[in-house]
Amino acid sequence: MPTPVSPRISQVRHVPIEKLLKPVERGSFPMDGFDDDFGDIVDYIFKITHWIWADRAVGQIYDYYAENCTVYTGFDVTRSVEDVVTGTLSMLQSFPDREMDFINVAWSGDPKEGYYTSHLGFSRMTNLGPSSYGPTTGRASRFFTIADCVSRDNQIFLEWLIRDNGAVAKQLGVDIHELARRLAQDDARQGRKPWFADTLESLPAVRSPRQPAPLDRPKKSLEDRLRHTLHDAWNRRLLNVLHDFYDPDVVGHLAGGREIAGKDGLIYHYVQLLAAIPDAEFSFDHYCDVVETDGVLAAVRWSITGHHRGDGLFGAPSGKPVYVLGMSHFRFEGENVVEEWTLYDELSILRQIYAEPATADGEE
C-alpha cells in the first residue's frame, strides 16, 4: 500500500499534551497567513482547540474563527462566529468539567485554498446543568467527536462537526426516541428544516433495480483503494470486499458508543445500516490522511441518503427520507485496517424520522 507523501508535520497519537503544547519550528511546512506561533497545520488545530476547551479561553474563538464561519452538524447549520461562541458556552454550562483528548488529526490542502483537517477527540464530562438533552442528570459521559475544519489566514471558515449524541443520550439515561420526537415537534412549530432539506425533497422514491457499476478510476493510492472499497460495500452491496479490507483483530469505535472487536462485527454494522435504509446511496465526500506514530491514518467524510424502510438501528420502518452525515478514521498497519472510528449522529437521524408537517405557528 502506498504511504502518503507530505511535508514533515506534527504527530499527536500517543504524544503527551505537554509535548504537543511546546513550540514547533515551522521549517519547510507552508503556513503563509498563519501566526508564527504555529509550526504546521496540525500544531495549529491542536493548540487552538486546547486553548479554547481545556484552558476555557472561549474568547479566542473570535481570533481563530472567521466572522461568517459556517458550521454543519448532523441536522443544523450556523453561519457566524457568535453562534460558535454561544454553542461553546452552552456546552460548558451543561458540562462544566468537560475534558478532551486529541486522538487523531489527518489533513490535506495548502495555505492558499485552505487547509483541511479532520480531528478526532475523546471527551469526558459530567452533566451538571440543564442541556439540550433535558434536565440535569448528574451523570458522566464519555464519547467521541470528529470535527472537519477548513482554515485559511489563521481562521477556520468552514466546519463539519459530528458529536456522538447517541452515546451521550444513553449515558445520561435519556430516551433518545422521546428526545428526537420532542425536537421534531419543536422543528414543526418553528418551521425549522435541516440544512439538507432540499436533498431530501429531491430523493427518488425508488432506487434503481440495477447494481451500480464499479468506479472508473485507478487503484494506485490509498484514497483510490478506500473509494473503491467503500463504493463496492455500500453502493454495490458487495460486503465480501471488507474481508480483505479489515484485519481479523480490527477494533471499531462506532456511533452510539458501540465498541466492536473483530471484522465480523464491523461488517455487521454495514448490514445494520443497509437494512434500516435499504435504498441507501453512499457518497464519498472528502479524503485526507497523515503518517502517524503507529501507522497511516486516513479520514473520510461521507454521506448516505435513502429512506428508512427497514427494521434495526432506528426503530420500526417509517418510510421517511433520511440524510446521514458520517465521518470515519481508519488506521492502517500494512494493507489492512486495524482500528476504525466511525461517527454519525443517531439523534439527527431520528429527528428526521419523527419529523412532522409544519404547524400554523411555523408557517410563513
**61 burial type by CB count under 10 A (0-12 exposed, 13-18 middle, 19+ buried):** buried
Q: What is the pLDDT of residues 328-347, one digit of tens each?
A: 999 999 999 999 999 999 99
Q: What is the pLDDT of residues 200-219, one digit of tens each?
A: 999 998 877 788 999 998 88
How many structural domains does the chain have?
2
Domain of 26 in residue numbering reads as 17-175
Over the chain, what is the mean pLDDT? 95
Q: What is the pLDDT of residues 260-282, one digit of tens each?
A: 999 999 999 999 999 999 999 99
**123 burial type by CB count under 10 A (0-12 exposed, 13-18 middle, 19+ buried):** buried
User: Do 348 and 216 have their domain in common?
Assistant: yes
User: Do 135 and 251 have their domain in common?
Assistant: no
User: Do 301 and 343 have their domain in common?
Assistant: yes
User: Do 216 and 301 have their domain in common?
Assistant: yes
Residue 28: the pLDDT is: 86
Q: What is the pLDDT of residues 50-97, one digit of tens each?
A: 999 999 999 999 999 999 999 999 999 999 999 999 999 999 999 999
Provide the whole-model pTM: 0.95
User: Do 52 and 168 have their domain in common?
Assistant: yes
Residue 362: the pLDDT is: 46
b/e burial code for range 274-299 (CB count within 10 A of at least 16 → b): bebbebbbbebeebbbbebeebbbbb
User: Which residue, among 146, 150, 171, 174, has the nearest Cα to 161 in the 3D structure?
Assistant: 146
27 occurs within a structural domain: yes
